[in-house]
Every structure is written in structure tokens, then in C-alpha cells.
């Protein structure tokens, strides 16, 4: 990857609106599809195929532990890819991040199982999961900047919500693929070869994403930074030295978003499909997955609503009031989800994931505004991914432990506490820290 020449921003070829928005959307859709097929498999497949089967709960917890690896890898990916994104440009770095994620995902579909390779199987699975985390750690921040740094004045949140839409679209595609395979295959066929198909097929999506991104030019904001010689030698050190407060508050400001999403998806899928005799709800996989997908539709619908609110009232204000709503929702977690009734579970899924859309939609814009252009890729990526470590990496594990020992109501209290911490952090960010992002 070569450095960007200091071409004047005014003379640089402009990216069209449609190309920018589609490139930011398609990339994150692919990345999140790859990420979520792992999340789904971590509940349905990996406990049975990659870990000793003597204790189902222990195997599930071990599978969740490999799931968590990616969240610890993501800040490392943010630092590595952020360095190049702030030094040589957004475009080349986004291409490299997509390739890292894609290759790791395809390899998961080719791994031997525990029955074939013994302890080597979970070790290889963990290594590929590490690669997924590195790739996604570099992908998200660059996709948000690709959108927001090309946005016209007053439209940053609207542009910034397009990469966020990749999350619900990727989730629906991932969950839909497993649901389809479950319908057309027997359990024996699914666990033998079917589960591998989404992982290997993701290679086709990666090629589409690479083609679109290679057609882009650099963002106007980065071109200006090059022209004015604003780039720093080591962006991650500059963030840690000069923007510690933004990093800390932004990380906590993303906490509730991550806790909410992984409780609504990974934990709820595991608990809902766990045998009722073991404390779960006893839903069949084919029954609960459509309920989850319905909730994710509301997740996607809420994202553009949140962008409109954010452009009108501010990204942080929107996140702040949504965090208060998340706190209230946490108090209903046990009664709705724990009721076991289809109506209660459907309402639980719709409300929880709609709130997810309202907090997730403006999050990229809110975090990008915290940092100047010269360290924005690194700063926003680190903030988002550190929030992932604290909020998401152990969320399914903690929630499973709480539900097993104390009941589902305590999972809701866990979510309420996360919402409170986020609300305090967002309110504590000084209003003066809001930097211009767009073209």
C-alpha cells in the first residue's frame, strides 16, 4: 500500500453520493454477515462439533469464549488498520480489512472438527476468530469515515447511518442462511456439511465488496489533511496522549449498544433454544430464528429514524435518550422474555432490537466527531472496539451465568446498569468536542 500523494482536495476526483453510500453499506454488510454467521454457529454448531460433548452447558460457555476472542482482537485491528487509514488513506486500508475478515471466515468453513482433530480443532477455530476480529476492527471505522467525510453539511448522521445498516442486513442474511439450511437439510446433513456453506460462500460477497471499494477515491477530509501536512507519525500514540478523555467517554458511550445487541441476539438465541429441562425456553431453532429476524427488521427500520433525529437534535442527544429507554427496557427483560409465550418473546425481540437501531444508527457519527481528521480512523475505531470488549465480548457469558444462577430478571438488571453508564458517559462529553466531518 503506497502513501497518498498530496493532491489538492479541490482537484481530487469526487466520489458520487451513490458510490460512497453503497461502498460503505456493502462492506459492513459483508463484514457483519461474516461476523454473525460465527455468532449463530457459536450457539448452534460449535458447542457440538468443536468441543467435548460430555457437558452441554460447558461446551456452550467454551464456544462463547471463542466468540469473545474477536472482541479482544478488534482494538488491535483498530490500531493496525487505523494507523494505515490515518497515514496512507481510507481506501487501501478498507480493502485490506475486508480481505482479512473474508479469508478468516472462509477458513472457518474448512476446519476439521473435534472428532477429527481433537484439541487442535478449537485452537484453529480460535485462530480464525482472531482474524475475524482483526478485520472487523479495521473495517467499521473506515466505513463510517468513508460515509461521514463525504457528507454535506447537516447530513453527517444520515450518511453515517449507511454503514450501520450493514449490521441488520448482515444479520438477516446470516440468520436467514442458517434458517434456510435447517429447513432443506436434516440435522445430520446440517451438522455434517450444511453449516460450512455460509462461511465458504462469503468469499463471493467479499469479491463484490472489493470490486466496489477499488473504484473509490479518497475522502475530501483526508485529502485536506494530506495537503495541510496534518498527519501524525503514530496515530495510536497521538490518540492515547492527546485524546484520552474522548477515548474513555466514547468507549463507555458505546457500552449499552453492545450489551443490548448481544443479549438480544447471541444470548437470547442460546437461552431460547436451550432445553426447558435445563432452564431454557425450549424453542426449536426453526421457531425462534424467524422471531429474531423479525426483531432485526425493526432494528434496520429504526436506524434511518435515528439518523433523522440525530441530524435534527444531535447524535449524542439521540443516544442519551435512547440509553434511558434501554434502562427501562432492562426492567422488562425478565417478564417479557421469561414469560415463554410467543407474544411476549416477539414483543421482547421487536422492542429490544428497535432500541438497538435507535442507539446504533448515530453511534458512528457520534464517535467520529470526537477526533480530528489526522487520528480519526484510529480514534473512532479504538473507541468503538474497546466498547465492544467491555460491552459485548463477555455479554453472552455473563448473561448465561446470571440467568442460570439468578434468573432472567438479573440479565435485565445487567442491561439497565449498562444503559445508565452509557447515559452518564454521553452526558459528560463536553459540547465543544464536536468536529466537522463532511466534505
- Residues 62 and 122: beta-carbon distance below 8 Å: yes
**pLDDT higher than threshold 90 for residue 58:** no
Q: How far apart are CA 366 and CA 241, in angstroms?
A: 21
* Confidence band of 136 (pLDDT split at 50, 70, 90): confident
CA distances from 435 to 37, 293, 383, 438 (A): 36, 36, 16, 10
- Comparing 322-331, 362-371, 403-412, 425-434, the range with the smallest average pLDDT is 425-434
Whether the predicted pLDDT of 11 surpasses 70: no
Q: Has residue 229 got a pLDDT over 90?
A: no
pLDDT tens sequence across 29-53? 887 888 788 878 887 888 889 988 6
pLDDT (0 to 100) of residue 267: 87
Q: What's the rounded Cα separation, in Å, for the pair 267 and 123?
A: 23
Is residue 223 domain-resident? Answer: yes
* pLDDT on residue 137: 86
Confidence of residue 106 (pLDDT cuts 50, 70, 90): very high
> What confidence score (pLDDT) does residue 2 get?
44
Please indicate, yes or no, if residue 373 is contained in any of the structural domains: yes
Q: Average model confidence (pLDDT) for the chain?
A: 86
What is the band of 341 on the pLDDT scale with cuts at 50, 70, 90? confident
157 domain residue, yes or no:
yes
Q: How far apart are CA 104 and CA 34, in angstroms?
A: 9
pLDDT classification of 1: cutoffs 50, 70, 90:
very low
- CATH number where 116 lies: 1.20.1250.20
CA distances from 343 to 280, 364, 368 (A): 17, 33, 39
Distance CA 400, CA 121 (A): 24
Is the Cβ–Cβ distance between 64 and 265 less than 8 Å?
Answer: no
**Cα–Cα distances in angstroms (integers) from residue 167 to residues 36, 100, 151, 229, in the given order:** 9, 18, 20, 35
Is 433 among the domain residues? no
- Domain range enclosing 340: 17-428
- Whether residue 2 is contained in a domain is answered as no
Overall domain count for the chain: 1
Q: What pTM was computed for the model?
A: 0.82
| Better pLDDT: 438 or 202 | 202
The percentage of residues in the chain with a pLDDT greater than 70, rounded to a whole number, is 94
Amino acid at each position: 500500500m503506497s502513501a497518498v500523494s498530496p493532491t489538492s482536495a479541490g482537484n481530487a476526483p469526487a466520489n458520487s453520493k451513490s458510490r460512497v453510500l453503497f461502498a460503505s453499506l456493502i462492506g459492513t454488510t459483508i463484514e457483519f454477515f461474516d461476523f454473525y454467521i460465527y455468532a449463530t454457529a457459536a450457539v448452534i454448531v460449535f458447542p457440538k462439533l468443536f468441543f467435548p460433548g460430555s457437558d452441554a452447558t460447558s461446551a456452550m460457555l467454551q464456544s462463547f469464549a471463542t466468540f469473545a476472542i474477536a472482541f479482544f482482537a478488534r482494538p488491535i485491528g483498530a490500531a493496525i488498520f487505523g494507523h494505515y487509514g490515518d497515514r496512507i488513506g481510507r481506501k487501501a486500508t478498507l480493502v485490506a480489512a475486508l480481505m482479512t475478515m473474508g479469508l478468516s471466515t472462509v477458513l472457518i468453513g474448512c476446519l476439521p472438527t473435534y472428532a477429527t482433530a481433537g484439541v487442535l480443532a478449537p485452537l484453529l477455530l480460535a485462530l480464525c476468530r482472531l482474524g475475524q476480529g482483526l478485520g472487523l476492527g479495521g473495517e467499521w471505522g473506515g466505513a463510517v469515515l468513508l460515509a461521514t467525510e463525504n457528507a454535506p453539511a447537516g447530513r453527517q448522521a444520515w450518511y453515517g447511518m449507511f454503514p450501520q445498516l450493514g449490521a441488520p442486513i448482515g444479520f438477516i442474511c446470516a440468520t436467514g442462511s442458517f434458517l434456510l439450511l435447517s429447513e432443506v437439510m436434516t440435522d445430520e446433513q446440517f451438522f455434517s456439511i450444511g453449516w460450512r456453506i455460509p462461511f465458504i460462500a462469503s468469499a463471493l460477497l467479499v469479491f463484490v465488496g472489493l470490486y466496489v471499494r477499488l473504484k473509490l477515491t479518497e475522502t475530501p477530509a483526508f485529502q485536506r489533511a494530506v495537503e495541510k501536512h496534518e498527519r501524525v507519525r503514530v496515530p495510536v500514540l497521538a490518540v492515547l496522549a492527546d485524546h484520552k478523555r474522548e477515548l474513555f467517554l466514547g468507549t463507555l458511550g458505546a457500552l449499552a449498544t453492545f450489551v443490548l445487541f448481544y443479549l438480544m441476539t447471541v444470548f437470547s438465541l442460546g437461552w431460547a433454544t436451550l432445553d426447558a429441562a435445563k432452564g431454557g425456553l425450549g424453542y426449536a431453532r426453526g421457531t425462534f430464528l424467524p422471531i429474531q429476524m423479525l426483531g432485526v427488521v425493526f432494528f434496520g427500520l429504526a436506524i434511518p429514524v435515528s439518523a433523522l433525529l440525530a441530524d435534527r437534535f444531535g447524535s449524542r442527544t439521540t443516544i442519551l435518550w435512547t440509553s434511558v429507554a434501554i434502562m427501562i427496557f432492562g426492567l422488562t427483560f425478565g417478564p417479557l422474555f421469561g414469560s415463554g409465550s410467543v407474544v411476549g418473546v416477539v414483543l421482547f425481540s421487536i422492542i429490544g432490537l428497535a432500541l438497538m437501531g435507535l442507539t446504533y444508527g448515530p453511534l458512528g457519527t457520534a464517535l467520529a466527531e470526537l477526533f480530528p481528521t489526522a487520528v480519526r480512523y484510529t480514534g473512532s475505531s479504538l473507541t468503538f472496539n474497546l466498547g465492544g470488549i467491555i460491552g459485548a465480548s463477555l455479554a453472552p457469558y455473563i448473561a448465561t451465568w446470571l440467568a442460570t444462577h439468578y434468573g432472567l430478571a438479573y440479565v435485565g438488571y445487567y442491561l439497565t446498569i449498562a444503559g445508565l453508564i452509557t447515559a452518564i458517559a454521553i452526558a459528560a462529553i463536553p459540547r465543544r468536542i464536536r468536529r466537522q466531518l463532511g466534505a
